[in-house]
Structure 1
């Protein structure tokens, strides 16, 4: 009898222990599946959302509050003339295949990113590098062709992570980095699985494994969260259902800001859209608040230029392109399109684009512009619009931080070519005085607003849903990432 009681008590104790054991796995929902897993060779934000800070690391990194801190570079020195950065690397860092990460890997990564045949989507980040020299295994000297006060920030982008020459070529399908998690499996069309890397140089993560589950349909995303199949959906695609999660104590709704300037991008090299009067007409045809309310259920901040409102240098220029259908019709008539015109509108998968596209199409129709809507999958959009520049109009959110400099790239997909703006970006790169930088950034914002380069819509809000027992998820998105390094279950 005593033996039976002891055995029963032991079973109950084990059961209780199991019930209160700390959960160490997590399933993260994402609407878009990345086209590959190499942040140094792809433009899709979904790549960084899986691998940034989790699998891959750079010399520096973004923190949750938008600040920049050391990563693989423990410290760095800057020469008096601002041209030479000497990075002192952490000792004892290894890649996930067990090989040592050292100065040769840094030189390889930076030289590869700036090479003539580089496929890096942000190649401009590395254009100012003159030379990269290995001083010793833990010291790298980077010399710039001109001073650039933003260089440590540039090195924090996902496009600037450090890869090894032995594994870089396979990073798209088998990424090997130095982060706290290592790649385990990619089931195409379904999920990517990561596991904790036992020899990580820094503080070990609280999680043992993480699964990124891809659910493109907003209704399915809602059902998966409610069923507990997904633990957190940091960029939740169905804002119309957030109120239901707010009323349910099992969940926490996390609303923050992003770097995502959402724009109606226009092909400035197109015969019709090369006329600034047509672009201005389109801008005045747009009712931003109607788009925010209809597509985003009120989540979003109107913008009148390509700059995030949470930055101190932001200038509110929304009045310059306010909703004025009468002015839009007059401009179209002046440009020779009084009888109307038809433009293509190619939309990628995100909710803001598909829902926003329908609203914008109706608004344009009111002033005499018909649109031929074509819904594209993400890979198609990247190929046709981003790389092929085969479009008239498209809607996309640019989630890279402080990226107004893309307007200084004539070969960028919307093909805005203004030498005056390009010279202005060069001035900003050299400026170190805050007042001078503020004045230059204001000038830059006004210049692209005056040229009506794109239809500036709204700053994308970050609306997320998570199990209430999870802590450490980013509220804001200073870069495109689902950083799991500080995420843990509280019970």
Structure 2
């Protein structure tokens, strides 16, 4: 069994400050406002400024950001680390990005529409876009990029987002691309903002990008020093060049997150944006010296319970665990107060459609003990070393409830996520696994609850849930999609095979000399950013 892409990311911290690590879209889009809304005719594009703001802008400055050293070669098709993705995304772009409302917004695609039967999507490309070597970007480049991503032997971690969904990709003229699907999928446009979905020249070959880093993005990669830094200069031919005020971008690489925080504190870097940092590491920062902003994320830690084994084959035991958790305390102690309680469904705060009418679970010790009915329940929580804080809090909370005896087994990440059919994250009776943000909630449903999924750690399946999920995927009617989400969430909440204690928040710290840099869902927008 192949280990999933989100498992390979070193930023999967259970302290909840997870951004869309597997899909950091650093491309800037001139068709969006700072809050991610799609630009209308009467609305300025992202980075567009008033006359007063324009007068104050200092052009040509250098923004210095940071990441943990990926320790590997950089290639848009294969990268999974935050640093590797940041480097690739500063140079290469994708068809779309994700807004704060959880919808797709144009980057290289100008528009898109589904066929009447939902079995294909037609994307029209933004005219006049060129690669940094001067060649025009055409539909042939898009087709080639997706054929590489989706190939049977593709090394791309992000391939899983399209698993068994895309039947083929073809050009329909130089500026139109058609994606043919195996089934209707109304959220398809947001998938094109995902990991490894960069559009590269038709003649790109895997493993060659670091020697010849070509893309259509806002920056050119001038120098990459492994373990040290990546240096970029503004792309003078970028399609949105009028809104790119920066002259250069430096990405400094550090051995760990603590080193990044110390670099910000000393003034060596300008921001901790783009890669999440444990709240305990930023607690000592003088907050008066920085612009601090928070952004909700959809990523969460799945507390999966094997329903095919005792004691979790009893739904009352699973419900007792769910009612036994003090989620507000988890947000305070594990997430540093930056986050919100989960409710045992996969629908995070960033999705456009969220469950309605579902009771929010709060700790109810009496109800938990009533559900146990005097039964003694002993089990072990298995997780990676990074999950120890959350595991400890859960253990303490449950062991205060009569009937529970909970222990913890913490493994090195490489052992917990080891390849093979006996990988602990998939076979242990109770596991804690972090899942990074996914563009569509259907991806979580298809991975965590589907009978056919190789990543269904709880071994739970429900034909009605799968039917409802397919109904949601196929529908473009918002009311029908809302009803499907409500019904799916009710099943997940009642059955509780996967407990979702909380959702985290991505928090950014930025020096006050930087203007216009804002956290975005899975994105850093360079349009409109300038430095004193």
Report the TM-score when normalising by structure 2.
0.73
How many Å separate the matches in 1 of 2:357 and 2:464?
A: 20
* Alignment of structure 1 residues 58-457 onto 2, 5 Å: 58-63=94-99, 66-120=102-156, 121-125=158-162, 127-170=164-207, 176-203=214-241, 205-215=244-254, 219-234=258-273, 237-239=277-279, 247-248=287-288, 250-260=289-299, 262-266=300-304, 268=306, 271=309, 275=313, 277=315, 278-304=317-343, 305-311=345-351, 313-315=353-355, 321-324=361-364, 338=376, 340-348=378-386, 353-366=387-400, 367-376=404-413, 383=418, 388=423, 390=425, 392=428, 393-409=431-447, 410-412=453-455, 414=457, 416-457=460-501
How many Å separate the matches in 2 of 1:317 and 1:46?
A: 40
| Matched position secondary structure for 1:449 | helix
**Pair 1:320–1:426, CA change in 2 (3 A):** same
Shift of 1:321: 4.7
What is the CA RMSD across the aligned residues, in angstroms?
3.7
- Which protein, 1 or 2, shows the higher relative CO under an 8 Å CA cutoff with sep ≥ 6? 2
| Matched position secondary structure for 2:269 | coil
Q: Alpha-carbon deviations, 1:198-252, whole Å to 9, x = none?
A: 332332632233233345655544432221012001256253576765652x421
CA contact (8 A) 1:225 1:232 kept: yes
| Matched position secondary structure for 2:523 | coil
> Greater helix percent: which structure?
1
How many Å separate the matches in 1 of 2:120 and 2:281?
A: 51
How many Å separate the matches in 2 of 1:65 and 1:171?
A: 36
How many Å separate the matches in 2 of 1:147 and 1:124?
A: 15
Q: Alpha-carbon deviations, 1:39-92, whole Å to 9, x = none?
A: 54455566545544x222222233466553322223445444444433333344
Q: Work out whether 1:465 is the aligned partner of 2:505.
A: no
Shift of 1:427: 0.7
Greater Rg over alpha carbons, structure: 1
CA contact (8 A) 1:64 1:474 kept: no
Consecutive unaligned residues of structure 2, counting only runs of 5 or more, are 1-56, 448-452
| Number of aligned residue pairs | 458
How many Å separate the matches in 1 of 2:356 and 2:117?
A: 35
Consecutive unaligned residues of structure 1, counting only runs of 5 or more, are 1-19
How many Å separate the matches in 1 of 2:395 and 2:354?
A: 29
Q: Alpha-carbon deviations, 1:164-222, whole Å to 9, x = none?
A: 35334127856543211233444444544433333323326322332333456555444
CA contact (8 A) 2:382 2:424 kept: no
**Pair 1:268–1:471, CA change in 2 (3 A):** farther
Q: Work out whether 1:482 is the aligned partner of 2:524.
A: yes
CA contact (8 A) 1:267 1:273 kept: no
Q: Alpha-carbon deviations, 1:290-329, whole Å to 9, x = none?
A: 2211122211111102112354632378856533456556
**Pair 1:374–1:78, CA change in 2 (3 A):** closer
How many Å separate the matches in 2 of 1:190 and 1:287?
A: 42
Aligned to 1:57: 93
